[in-house]
């Protein structure tokens, strides 16, 4: 990442690099982030490279390039907080209100200005485009995303992560870690059109072994749906259905299902590879 100091232009349009470039690793990330380092450390973060750009009217942009160790992890960080339309930069991107987020290869990038106007917004996108070339080729996404049934899937709402902090920011389930998520677990959270109103949601968790998947299902049902029978199916207060089943070392939870059959169909159509 030291090369970024040379390979990424110091002047982009009328914006000029300001101050010293900085580099943080897993140990020093706390010096850069006010209490949020764990969110990146829950992924396989290696380093983050930071540069500021100063604009003609006193504006400032912050460029953060995170080396996430693999393209899967870079996709994961990118996928957890998506809200805006794509910007056509890198492998996947979004831009809105002065914040550009994208991933390319093993890198996740954010370019941000706190005081967004037309000029600084344009500069954010220009910086992003200038950075992509320095990041190398694209890479594959997480294998688990490929397990998901494609019909009615909302790809831009699919997230990949490991830890409970990411799940709760994506879709709050419980104030305690009732699924036993940690760095050894892989999770995909996806949304599906139901044909009526709000989307249905799917959480797929891969545990290191089947025992943990079974224990997590038991814990989830005890805390979240104690009324569920052996099928792990219960109706919630909003008249939707929740279901939890285990296949091999995978826990499959369907939330916001319009009816029991929809949950069953979605759960059974996940293409989990045979052992």
Partner 1 sequence: MTQMLTRRDFLKGTTAALLGASLGFGQDAPLAKKARVVLVRHRDVLDENSAVAPDILQGMLDEAVMKLFDESDPVKAFAKLVKPGETVGIKTNVWSYLPTPPELESAIKRRLVDAGIAEDKIGLDDHTVRTNPLFVNATSLINARPLRTHYLSGMSGCIKNYIMFAQSQEALHPDSCADLGSVFNLPMVKGKTRLNILCVLTPQFHGRGPHHFSRRYVWSYKGLIVGQDPVAVDTIGLRLLMAKRREVLGKDQELPPVPKHIQLADTRHGIGVSDINAIELVKLGWDEDILV
Binding site for partner 1 (CB under 8 A): 30, 32-40, 80-81, 83, 96-99, 101, 110, 112, 114-116, 165, 168-169, 171-178, 223-224, 236-238, 255
Residue 175 is given by DSSP the state S
Q: Which is nearer to partner 1, 78 or 207 (CB)?
A: 78
Rank residues 10 and 198 by Cβ distance to partner 1 and give the closer one: 198
Rank residues 75 and 249 by Cβ distance to partner 1 and give the closer one.
75
The span from the CA of 32 to the CA of 20, in Å, is 14
Q: Which residues contact 148 (CB under 8 A, 6 or more apart)?
A: 158, 188, 190, 202, 204, 270, 271
Instruction: Considering the complex, state which of residue 114 and residue 133 has its C-beta at the smaller distance from partner 1.
Output: 114
Q: Which is nearer to partner 1, 92 or 98 (CB)?
A: 98
Q: Is 227 left (phi over 0), alpha (psi -120 to 50) or beta?
A: alpha
The closest of 28, 22, 16, 27 to 4, measured between CA atoms, is 22
Closest CA to 193 of 154, 148, 149, 160: 154
Q: Which long-range contacts (CB under 8 A, 24 or more apart) does 113-116 make?
A: 113/59, 113/60, 113/61, 113/62, 114/60, 115/59
**C-beta of residue 66 within 8 angstroms of C-beta of residue 108:** yes
User: Cβ closer to partner 1: 99 or 187?
Assistant: 99
Q: Which residues of 122-133 are buried (b: 16+ CB within 10 A; e: fewer)?
A: ebbbbbbbbbbe
Q: How far is the CB of 40 from partner 1 (least distance, A)?
A: 7
Residues forming beta bridges with residue 94, ordered by sequence position: 101
Q: How far is the CB of 21 from partner 1 (least distance, A)?
A: 18
Minimum Å distance from CB 209 to partner 1?
24
Phi-psi region of 256 (alpha: psi -120 to 50; beta: other; left: phi over 0): left
Tell me which DSSP letter residue 98 carries.
T
Nearest distance, CB of residue 272 and partner 1, angstroms: 25
Q: Which is nearer to partner 1, 39 or 204 (CB)?
A: 39
């Amino acid at each position: 990442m030291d090369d970024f100091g040379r390979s990424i232009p110091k002047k982009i349009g009328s914006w000029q690099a300001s101050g010293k470039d900085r580099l943080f690793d897993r140990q020093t990330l706390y010096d850069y982030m006010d209490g949020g380092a764990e969110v990146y450390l829950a992924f396989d973060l290696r380093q983050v490279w930071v540069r500021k750009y100063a604009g003609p009217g006193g504006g400032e942009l912050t460029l953060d390039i995170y080396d996430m160790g693999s393209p899967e992890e870079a996709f994961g960080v990118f996928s957890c907080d998506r809200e805006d339309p794509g910007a056509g930069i890198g492998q996947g991107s979004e831009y809105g209100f002065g914040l550009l987020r994208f991933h390319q290869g093993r890198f996740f990038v954010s370019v941000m200005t706190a005081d967004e106007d037309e000029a600084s917004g344009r500069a954010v996108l220009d910086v992003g485009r200038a950075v992509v070339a320095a990041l190398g080729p694209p890479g594959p996404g997480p294998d688990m995303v490929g397990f998901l049934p494609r019909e009615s899937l909302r790809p831009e709402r699919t997230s990949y992560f490991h830890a409970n902090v990411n799940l709760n920011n994506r879709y709050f389930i419980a104030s305690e870690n009732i699924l036993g998520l940690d760095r050894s677990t892989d999770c995909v959270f996806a949304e599906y059109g139901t044909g009526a109103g709000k989307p249905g949601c799917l959480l797929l968790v891969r545990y290191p072994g089947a025992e943990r998947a079974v224990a997590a299902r038991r814990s989830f049902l005890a805390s979240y749906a104690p009324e569920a029978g052996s099928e792990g199916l219960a109706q919630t207060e909003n008249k939707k259905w929740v279901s939890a089943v285990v296949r091999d070392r995978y826990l499959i939870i369907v939330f916001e299902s319009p009816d029991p059959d929809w949950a069953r169909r979605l759960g059974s159509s996940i293409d989990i590879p045979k052992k």
